A = this chain, B = another copy of it.
Amino acid sequence: MTAAAGAPLSLRFHAAGEWPDGTVDSAGDLILSPETDAALAAIAAPVSVKAKTSVFRQGDAAASVYLIRSGAMRVAHQLEDGRNQIVAFSWSGDLFGLADHGVYLNSADALTDCDLVEFSRPALKSLFLKEPQLQGDFLVEAIADLRMSQRHLLLVTHQRVTKRLAGFLVECARQPDCYDPKTGVLSLIMDRTDIADYLSTTVETVSRTIGALEEQRLMTRIDLRHVHLDLAGLQAMMVR
Contacts and interface: CB of A to CB of B under 8 A. Distances in A.
Contacts of A153: 85, 87, 149, 152-153, 156
Interface string A209-232: 000000000000000000000000
17 contacts: A17-B101, A18-B102, A79-B154, A81-B239, A81-B240, A83-B157, A83-B158, A87-B150, A98-B147, A98-B150, A139-B139, A142-B143, A149-B149, A153-B153, A153-B156, A156-B157, A159-B200
Interface residues of A, number: 42
A101 B142 contact: no
Contacts of A146: 98, 142, 145-146, 149
Contacts of A79: 154
Interface string A132-175: 11011011001101110110111011110000000000000000
Contacts of A142: 139, 142-143, 146
Closest 7 pairs between A and B when the two form their complex, measured CB to CB = A132-B132, A142-B142, A157-B200, A149-B149, A135-B135, A135-B136, A80-B239
Nearest to A16: B100
Contacts of A154: 77, 79, 85
Number of copies: 2
A20 interface: yes
A105 interface: yes
A56 to B, nearest CB: 16
B18 A105 contact: no
Nearest to A79: B154
A90 to B, nearest CB: 13
Interface string A65-88: 000000000000101110101010
Contact of A85 (B77, B149, B157, B200): B157
Contacts of A133: 128, 132, 135
A121 to B, nearest CB: 9
A32 to B, nearest CB: 14
Interface centre among A98, A101, A135 (most CB of B within 10 A): A135
A141 B212 CA distance: 42
Nearest to A139: B139
